Copies of this chain bind each other. A is one copy, B any other.
């Protein structure tokens, strides 16, 4: 279950909404947080393990999910397939404690450094969603591009979902 937000989510949303993105130079150089949400109202969020640095997943946030994440300290995304807020781990118990959020030069992407609870972040049964690698040039011999499995499953999704 989510912990009680320290600060009203609504107040945080107001701060996100009111931030100006007019001055491109200021966006890059200054310290006002003015995240850019795309035409669908979303910003890309890359989630990495706070300790190992491993990329766990790539997801998206709208203003509401970012405000909830900042208030709660647990990752809340916006599911594009289900078109609704997605408090990660609400079903599986595999929540993500947010240690730090970083933004990039043009403030149109976020990196979440998290402590992942449970055996993994991926609904397919892996610690990270990135459990396969793409063949580079030297290996590309056949008709199709065959991925390499680079991680073992850490749990059985059927036990959780």
* Residues of chain A whose beta carbon lies under 8 Å from any beta carbon of chain B: 5-7, 12, 15-16, 18-19, 28-29, 31-33, 44, 46, 48, 52-55, 57-58, 70-73, 98, 100-105, 109-111, 122-124, 126, 129-138, 140, 143-150
Contact = CB atoms under 8 A, between A and B. Distances in A.
Given A44-B44, A130-B111, A149-B31, A101 B52 contact: no
A29 B157 CA distance: 13
10 nearest interchain CB pairs?
A53-B53, A33-B145, A104-B129, A58-B109, A102-B130, A101-B134, A6-B137, A31-B147, A105-B124, A105-B129
29 contacts: A5-B137, A6-B137, A6-B138, A15-B140, A16-B145, A18-B144, A19-B145, A29-B124, A31-B148, A32-B144, A32-B146, A33-B135, A33-B147, A44-B44, A44-B58, A46-B55, A48-B53, A53-B53, A58-B104, A70-B137, A100-B136, A101-B133, A101-B134, A103-B132, A103-B133, A104-B129, A104-B130, A105-B122, A111-B130
A133 to B, nearest CB: 5
**A contact face: mostly helix, strand, loop, or mixed:** mixed
A130 B44 CA distance: 13
